[in-house]
Chains A and B, each alone.
Chain A
């Protein structure tokens, strides 16, 4: 009797498999776009923290402090519901129409916002690891500031930031799971709904766990490869 129930549940999982596949795409989509946003915010944040402008310092500080203080799920709920109110107020004051923050973009913005703060620290740390003499030497050879940054510093910052960057990606992917709480139909959201609707949540959640483990595993392989490539020619 029990095995029979197990087999029936497997049927349900197979029935929903194409839908869950779509959910995986949404999960990866949110994660990748959030990483892009986080990278941009991280670069801006690091630049602001390293700059001599006190206002920039302060803004970056407030940013990283808020992220450090508030749980991801709370921030997502705030951005999805409160952010819409804010946006409506702003748009209406411009006599505009209506612009919606969809669940997908609420997820991307929230997660990108959160991990941008972590990348701020990663990038700042990587910048400070590059020996000062290198920039000075490049300048003394008559290079202008932008080429110094672009051709001398950036390649090294990227190399030093790579382990931290990879780490943030791994955390970020798992963080996308909480976007399901605002009803996004990512892998977790769909598995949750389907599992509860079919009254067979166990198998659906086990499937989700396996997919995340696969994502983690592939990411680790890719990072290892990238790390080896970035450090080729370096003595250990």
Chain B
């Protein structure tokens, strides 16, 4: 084993961690911006709901790798695109990854939120309306905060999946954690030391993210006093990381 080569390039790996985290956070944030209107329009069958449904179906129904390839190599092929206003963004691998990951995360998040909106107790909305809140106020002050709370555990999974999904960035020249691992492997013609180091880093980050979500859930879902929340609490005491069934990725 040649882990001295890995340690020799610890600064590269540190940079990789930064790139991975940065990409994950941006994709999740932009994904949420897409998911909010998309989930509302799906849950309420508005005029735009066929569009939202189509978007969610396509992005959840195909691999993230192919979506990224299509946006990076596929669009770059056309002069029409290269002459357009969007090119300064699409020219950069970084922005292509951000666009692909955001659209992907937006689709999954929209589906999670749609489910949470659908299960909102009628009484919550009726109560808010009885207090004289306007339709918009009911939506943004009552319905969405309540739905987002209930979506927290599932959204925690989405965060982990997006974190893991960012490895795709390494196939379009981005030096994320895996990208650095591959570069170090290729530079020294070694087989797996770079991958093993990358795996360890991803694992540590995943643990931190899962722990953070556990804390946030305990804070915001306490009032629900749900059986599964207390079950989760005991999980965290034993340091157990439960594996959730992924939401169709």
Are A and B in direct contact (Cβ within 8 Å)?
yes
Give residues in A with beta carbon < 8 Å to B: 2, 61, 64-75, 77-78, 81-82, 84-85, 117-118, 120-122, 164, 167-168, 170-171, 174-178, 180-181, 188, 192, 195-196, 199-202, 205-206, 208-209, 212-213, 216-217
Residues of B near A81 (CB, < 8 A) are 191-192, 195
A88 to chain B, nearest CB (A): 11
CB of B30 closer than 8 Å to a CB of A: no
Checking B202, B244, B247 against A71 with a beta-carbon cut-off of 8 angstroms, the contacting residue is: B202
Give residues in B with beta carbon < 8 Å to A: 57-58, 61-67, 69-70, 73-75, 77-80, 160, 163-165, 167-168, 170-171, 178, 181-182, 191-192, 195-196, 198-199, 202-203, 206-207, 210, 240-249
Residues of B near A122 (CB, < 8 A) are 245
Checking B62, B171, B244 against A209 with a beta-carbon cut-off of 8 angstroms, the contacting residue is: B62
CB-based contact A85/B202 at 8 Å = no
Contacts beyond the supplied A67-B243, A177-B64: 15 A-B pairs with Cβ under 8 Å: A64-B242, A70-B203, A70-B206, A73-B167, A77-B195, A78-B192, A78-B199, A84-B191, A121-B242, A121-B243, A167-B245, A171-B249, A176-B63, A188-B65, A208-B62
Q: Given the complex of chains A and B, what is the CA–CA distance between A178 and B66 in angstroms?
A: 9
CB-based contact A82/B196 at 8 Å = yes
A103 to chain B, nearest CB (A): 15
Checking B77, B163, B181 against A202 with a beta-carbon cut-off of 8 angstroms, the contacting residue is: B77
Residue of B nearest to A205 (CB): B70
Residue of A nearest to B157 (CB): A68
CB-based contact B203/A61 at 8 Å = no
CB-based contact B206/A68 at 8 Å = yes
CB-based contact A71/B245 at 8 Å = no
Does more than half of chain A's interface fall in helix, strand or loop, or is it mixed?
A: helix
Q: Given the complex of chains A and B, what is the CA–CA distance between A205 and B66 in angstroms?
A: 7
Residue of B nearest to A121 (CB): B243
Checking B65, B163, B210, B240 against A180 with a beta-carbon cut-off of 8 angstroms, the contacting residue is: B65
CB-based contact B199/A70 at 8 Å = yes
Residues of A near B78 (CB, < 8 A) are 202
A217 to chain B, nearest CB (A): 8
